[in-house]
Amino acid sequence: MGNDDMEQLKALVRNVAAYATRPAMLVLLMFTVGFILARVLPPFILDDPFWRAFWSGPPAAGIFAVIAASLAYAAAIHSATVARTNAEADAFWKQAEWSLNLALSDASTERAIGLASILP
């Protein structure tokens, strides 16, 4: 390994270490903020009968169902977008392969068709 390779390896290790510590730092920051807020703010208790009935009954179930449906919709849209992009790329490469096969053909007619489909 040359000196340049070693420097690149060291830079890669530093970058990986930096990315690996970010989630840990975020968890530590969230824990610290939560600890401070728990000491500063009064306790938050929903002991009123209305809120107990709300969060343990059909209204909360409806809210969570809408949230779950929204997440499923977003996942389906993302999946369809990725599938469409992959299909477009696959169609492009199939057309390119077809054109190049014709352009490399021995028959002059097929070669002309292949070159015409490659060149705009």
* Under 8 Å between Cβ of 110 and 116: no
Give me the pLDDT at residue 48, please: 84
Average pLDDT over residues 78-99: 94
| pTM for this model (two decimals) | 0.51
Give me the pLDDT at residue 19, please: 67
Average pLDDT over residues 47-68: 91
In the predicted structure, residue 63 carries a pLDDT above the cut 80: yes
Residue 97 tokens read as: 């392969």
Domain boundaries, the chain: 1-44, 46-120
What share of the chain has pLDDT > 70, as a percent? 93
At 87, which amino acid appears? A
* Under 8 Å between Cβ of 99 and 117: yes
DSSP string, 40-80: HSPP----SHHHHHHHHSHHHHHHHHHHHHHHHHHHHHHHH
Average pLDDT over residues 63-85: 96
